[in-house]
Amino acid sequence: MSLKSKFSNIKHSIKYKSFQPYKFFILKKRFKKNREITLSMLEGDLSVIRIEKDLLEKKFVKEYSEFKKINDRVIEKFKKVSNHKKFSLHGIKYPFLLYIIIKIINPSKVLETGVWLGLSTNSILSSGVKNCKNFSLDSIDLPRADIKDSESYIGFLIDKKLKKYWKLYIGKDRAIAKMLIKKNKYNLYHFDSDKSLNGKLFLLKKVLKNSKDYFIIFDDLEDNLFWYRNELRLLNKTALKYGEKYVGLIYSDQYISKIKKIYE
């Protein structure tokens, strides 16, 4: 990393009071070991449901046709900006799965952490607005330190027609999420930002404390042992493997039958 990049990262961390990248760098050996252990456990876990992308597309033919048109527009928009910006299409590896989950659960109000260019955000909005006239999405994100003026590109891929249903909060997950979860009645949560064990546990506890109606999606289960913590033992939960990604679903009783529509 160049001296300029180091200075930019330090400035960014001070501005947003976020030192997670440094923690990861210092403890990267421990994180790597925990990830290897967790992957081994998930791969041998018979309760994990494997979902093949091709089978999902065949099961939800109409929905996939809708999604493909939406996704094609996103890719075309990304190509235009990537021609003059050194961007890579970071984001979830399961946008269609997310689109289907939103359709099945049919939430009216969603909270999301992690946006960047808005791949997941656009999927949530596209599916949510189609199903619910009063749909709204609140998103939390931190600008990237490694890209100049990155704040202006947060949510860049979101369809302009959908932005009126969307509100973006800039800052740390935990501080803003704590306030929003206490203030609002969300039906669905998509947590894809703070991947640390403590970060996931913090968000889970805040949801459980403030809501009896919840459907939570946790990305990157393979990063740590969160999925096997005692705090989750008595909760309704389903782990999905989609491609090489592990996605965790935690939900209240009213969603038990609904979630089975994805894989049965």
| Three-class secondary structure of residue 119 per DSSP | helix
Q: CB atoms < 10 A from the CB of 64, how many?
A: 18
Query: Band of the pLDDT at 173, cuts 50, 70, 90?
Result: confident
* Separation of alpha carbons 82 and 59, rounded Å: 33
The CATH number of whichever domain residue 211 belongs to comes to 3.40.50.150
pLDDT in tens, 195-243: 889 999 999 999 999 999 999 999 999 999 999 999 999 999 999 999 9
Which residues are paired to 248 by β-bridges?
A: 218, 239
Dist CA 134 CA 148 (whole Å):
35
Query: In Å, what is the CA distance from 232 to each residue of 5, 39, 66, 200, 228?
Result: 39, 18, 35, 11, 7
| Number of independent structural domains in the chain | 1
Residues 126-137: pLDDT tens digits? 999 999 989 999
Q: Which domain holds residue 243?
A: 3-263
Q: What is the pLDDT of residues 63-99, one digit of tens each?
A: 999 999 999 999 898 887 776 666 666 667 899 999 9
pTM of the model: 0.89
